[in-house]
Amino acid sequence: MSLLSVRDLTVKFAMRDQTVTALNGISFDLAKGERLGIVGESGAGKSITGFSLMNLLSRPGYIDNGQILFEGEDVVQMNDKRLRNLRGNRMAMIFQDPMVTLNPVLTIGQQMIETLMAHRKLSREEARQIAIVKLREVYIPSPEERLEQYPHELSGGMRQRIIIAIALLLDPQLIIADEPTTALDVTIQADIMELMLELCQSNQVGLILITHDLGVVSQMTERTLVMYAGRIIESGRTREIINDPQHPYTQGLINALPQQTLPGQRLKQIPGNMPGLASIPTGCAFNPRCKYATDLCRSRVPETVHYGEVEVACHEVQRLNSDEDRQEARA
């Protein structure tokens, strides 16, 4: 049985004059200890997916349809008490900005010890010892002293390590990390990524990594979902998706990276912008930006099909693959 199984998840936002669909029937599975990347541009629905998995959506957003089976139990149907037991305990989340996640008026120690005592029957001293062990696991120097410090006394990289330590406090089965290193410098980002990879591998913790950085996904994950306008448009093994993407959007994303073009040459841009939720085009949502779009693309939403090594939602994937330019590009 997979650790997490999402079926046909639809999330809507009730606005004053209309209801918009933020996630449109997404389905995916995650095995125990598996690392999955979710990529896409702002507005694709990556973060909404992360929030939904923990049932953390707040008004005006709501889960309209679908199942989120975590260890066989449907998160969507859970009551508050069961959700409290789920969150932090079996599933933990890491956000982009550590300064927002940590409470500025409590010491690191208070935040860690309280979390432990809320979920486990432990004495304060036992909780303190566990906190120290966890801080050591994320390579925080002199953890005893850090427990007495406030978040503002620590650097950005150090804070994000502490967030990871807090996420790991209760030995969860799954960590959802939403752009965990976007606010950090590259050298610190590399350290944090290496640390997360090491911890996930040694403890068999599942990871859902939400990011817009394809390089990070390539380093960190085994499988990848590519999202566009609230749907999964391509999924498969990370290596396959990066080396041989099938959907024109995934191809566009990868080709737009400066590394993919000779220095000084024009970058291969994707024309246009991600559509707003209120104005998602009919048919394939990507059709106005896609150079392969046909009348079929403009009228009908493509089914997800198995093509080569990946699952892809594109009407034209066959024709695209026989495209001469692409054959040449690969050669």
Partner 1 sequence: MKDAKTDRPLLEIRNLEKRFDLDHGFLETLKFKQGRIVRETRSVHAVNNISLEASRGEALCVVGESGCGKSTVARLVAGLLTPTAGEIHYGGQRIDSLSRGEMQPLRKKIQMIFQNPYASLNPRMTIRQALEEPVRHHNPGASAGEVRDKVTEVMMSVGVDPSWAKRYPHEFSGGQRQRIAIARALTVDPEFIIADEPISALDVSIQAQVLNLMLEAKESRGLTYLFITHDLSVVEHFGTRVAVLYLGSVCEVADTRTLFSNPKHPYTRALLSAVPQLKDDRPNHIRLKGEIPTPINLPQGCPFQSRCAFADARCKSEKPKAIHQPDGSTVACHAVEEDRLDEVAAG
Q: What number of helices (H) and strands (E) belong to the chain?
A: 14, 12
**Considering beta carbons, is residue 116 or 226 the nearer one to partner 1?**
226
**Under rule CB under 8 A, residue 48 binds partner 1:** no
Contact between 184 and 160 under an 8 Å Cβ cutoff? The reply is yes
Contact between 35 and 158 under an 8 Å Cβ cutoff? The reply is no
- C-alpha dist (Å) from residue 280 to 116, 136, 229: 44, 47, 7
CB of residue 264 to partner 1, shortest distance in Å? 7
Closest residue by Cα to residue 287 from 295, 297, 275: 297
- Taking CB under 8 A as the criterion, the residue among 131, 274, 284, 310 binding partner 1 is 274
Measured CA to CA, the distance from residue 94 to residue 222 in angstroms comes to 19
CB of residue 263 to partner 1, shortest distance in Å? 5
Interacting span for partner 1 (CB under 8 A) from 1-9, 112-120, 184-192, 316-324: 184-192
Measured CA to CA, the distance from residue 212 to residue 39 in angstroms comes to 5
**Under rule CB under 8 A, residue 197 binds partner 1:** yes
Measured CA to CA, the distance from residue 203 to residue 289 in angstroms comes to 42
Measured CA to CA, the distance from residue 268 to residue 317 in angstroms comes to 20
**Under rule CB under 8 A, residue 261 binds partner 1:** yes
**Under rule CB under 8 A, residue 264 binds partner 1:** yes
- Taking CB under 8 A as the criterion, the residue among 216, 284, 310, 313 binding partner 1 is 216
CB of residue 187 to partner 1, shortest distance in Å? 5
Q: Which residue is listed with tokens 């994320």?
A: 138
**Considering beta carbons, is residue 170 or 196 the nearer one to partner 1?**
196
Residue ranges in 222-251 that form contacts with partner 1 under rule CB under 8 A: 238-239, 242
| Interface residue list for partner 1 (CB under 8 A) | 41-42, 155-158, 185-191, 193-194, 197, 212-216, 218-220, 238-239, 242, 252-254, 256-259, 261, 263-264, 266-271, 273-274
